[in-house]
Structure 1
Amino acid sequence: MELRHLRYFVAVAESGSLKLAAEKRLHTAQPSLSRQIRDLETEIGVKLLERSAHGVALTEAGRAFLDHARSSLAAAQAAAEAARRVALPARTVFAIGFVVGHEVDCIPPTTNILRDELPGLELRISSGFSVDLADALQRGSLDVAFLRREPVADLEYRLVLQEPIIAIVPSGHRLAAASLVHADDLAGETYIGISPIPRVLRGVVKAYLATSASPIVPAFEIDNFAMAVSLVAAKRGIALLPASARGYLPASVVSRPLGGTQPTIDLVLGYRAANRSGVLGRFLTNLGTLSAQIRKPQPTAW
């Protein structure tokens, strides 16, 4: 078993799709990635992923393996960094994490500001689920992260933007022609719910659905945007996701704003309260400029 097998598996598990992992995360061909995952499953002797037309989902064995795979990759990275620190002259490193879905909006202005302020700075960039980014901040493996307001001790948050929650519906669905989608409109529909993993998003959506006169029971629960969009298209279902999910939508799926008191979810910049890095201090002084650039209207239509 090689580290690349672990890296490929983690990318697929987090993306919920072999195609997305191959194209967006690993920049490799999908058939090659599929073969590497099959080789890994053969070596371990158990099935790690359930494959379907809607994407991939972790088996119970896959969920157990994912935690250890992440730990192994983190340990390998830490070992490499330790070796580099000994062999190379000291250089200031600043590690930034981005919650999945916000890389396109956040990475360019973030890196531009830091390079303008500190041109000799070495930037290390990663993306992942909000809960994992919060854990990385707490461990000190990230300096800052764009994430949700996770209830984690010793972290401080600064608001970057309030992201609206929107409805994701099939393009031929009756609600695709609606100017607004209300909570009551989901009664009787195939609702694609949120799993406990994106806990902040789950709480925001649950509170909005509680305004419906009828209980809204999920037919499926997902933990990533790609799987939600696939299920909306395949099952003629409806999902409620942050507006950043629009970047995942194929032509067969559209988004609509929500009616009533529109729910929002905070995108925040998180960092350890004990982090006294001078780079962090300079970065925080530019947060207003950064937030304004991220909030600029995007060309993608609702």
Structure 2
Amino acid sequence: MELRHLRYFIAVAETGSLTEAAEQRLHTSQPSLSRQIRDLEDQVGASLFVRTARGVELTAAGRAFIEHARIALNQVEAAVEAARRAAQPAKQRFALGFLTGQEMNWLPDAMHVLRDELLNVDVTVSSDYSTELAEAVARGRLDVAFMRAEPDFDLAYEIVDREPLVVLMPSDHALAARDKVAVQDLAGESFIAMAGKARFLRTVVDDYLERSGVKLEPAQTVDNPAMVMSLVASTRGVVLIPSYVENLMPWSVTSRPLAGDVPTIDLAVGFSPKNQSPTLRLFLSRLDELKARHAGRHSRT
């Protein structure tokens, strides 16, 4: 008895037709399939099928035989897969997360520092809000994330950048004619504030406005960079936001640096100290190289 006999038998049993099994499942001729089934029945010593008006059906012997046949084939397939995995060990997985929009700035540099491992590691990339990234790192769904240093999670953080806040506004806004914008000039403008999922940024902005003695009442709140752009363009509002979002600006939105003592917000690499991944250790050991490459490509004047 050969494996093909079992495959042919199961195909006929599942289709209920010698012709359909031959043509659609096995890609062989119907007479050849019939011979294979007869050979199997001779070896089993019992009829496995009975012909009916609708095709063929399993006999009592066939019903007893089919489950064992399926188990045998599954075991063979499992053995083949195990052998293949042993011959070609599975690649390690390394999952990178980014605060939405930051992947445009940091992914090329992150992949560069992993260059020696890329043949042995499957790298996955995702983007999300900072709080969701922190939870994913804490739960082991991500190995490392470029995010804010969220205080509510048992994670370690390494600061990789301090991003200045800039003012976003409609491209034809009167303030766009200036090289820099003083925060006092925003008084009376329709102000877009950060919402709950961007709480870290909201705190930085609120502290800055308080230190500057400027009171801005939010006309809208938002926590998604794409929605920020839409609101700036549609409501002609202004927003204080980290400079990385300049990568996402459509033609209808522009940015200007702030005048005076410009506030910054930290971008950190967050990871779990419990994560023993060798790829994570390698990545962390090259953070200085990562920061140097990023600074070289994104030098600010």
* Shared fold, TM over 0.5: yes
Partners of 1:153 and 1:230 in 2: CA distance = 32
Higher alpha-carbon Rg: 2
CA positional deviation for 1:248: 1.6
Q: Cα deviations across residues 178-233 of structure 1 (Å, max 9, x unaligned)?
A: 22222211111100111011111111111111134342111000111111111111
Greater shift, 285-294 or 87-96, is seen at: 87-96
Work out the CA distance in 1 between the residues paired with 2:91 and 2:215: 56
Counterpart position of 2:225: 225
Residue 277 of structure 1 deviates from its aligned partner by: 2.0
**Aligned partners of 1:115 and 1:121 also within 8 Å:** no
Aligned residue identity for 2:288? G
Instruction: Tell me if structure 2 keeps the 8 A contact 1:183–1:211.
Output: no
Aligned to 2:243: 243
Count of aligned residue pairs for this structure pair: 218
The 5-angstrom pairing of residues 120-269 of structure 1 reads 120-269=120-269
Compute the RMSD of aligned alpha carbons: 2.4
Q: Does the residue aligned with 2:141 lie in a helix, a strand or coil?
A: coil
Provide the C-alpha distance between the structure 2 equivalents of 1:283 and 1:250, rounded to a whole number of angstroms: 33
2:224 maps to a residue whose letter is: N
Matches within 5 A, 1:62-73: none
How far apart, CA to CA, are the structure 2 residues paired with 1:109 and 1:286? 11
Are 2:115 and 1:109 aligned?
no
1:162-187 deviations in whole A, cap 9, x for unaligned?
11110001122221112222221111
Q: Indicate the residue corresponding to 1:288 in structure 2.
A: 288
1:297 Cα offset (Å): 4.1
**Alignment partners' CA distance in 1, 2:214 and 2:253:** 25
Cα distance, 1:115 vs. partner?
2.9
- What is the distance in 2 between the residues matched to 1:126 and 1:204? 25
TM (normalized to structure 1)?
0.67
Structure 1 SS opposite 2:261: coil
Runs of 4+, deviation exceeding 4 Å: none
Residue in 2 that maps onto 1:33:
none
Once residues 191 and 150 of structure 2 are traced to their aligned partners in structure 1, the CA distance between those partners, rounded to angstroms, is: 25
Q: Which structure 2 residue ranges, 5 or more long, are not aligned?
A: 1-80
Identical-residue share of aligned pairs (%): 43
Question: 2 CA distance for matches of 1:213 and 1:271?
Answer: 37
Taking the aligned partners of 2:103 and 2:192, their CA distance within structure 1 comes to: 24
Counterparts of residues 9-158 of structure 1 (less than 5 Å): 88=85, 89-117=89-117, 119-158=119-158
Q: What secondary structure, in the 3-state scheme, does the structure 1 residue paired with 2:218 have? A: coil
C-alpha displacement of 1:118: 5.2
Residue pair 1:183, 1:208 contacting (<8 A) in 2 also:
no
Q: Which amino acid aligns with 1:203?
A: T
Aligned counterpart, 2:39: none
Structure 1 spans left out of the alignment, 5+ residues: 1-83
| Amino acid aligned to 1:166 | V
Assess if the C-alpha contact under 8 Å between 2:168 and 2:256 holds in 1.
yes
- Aligned residue for 1:64? none
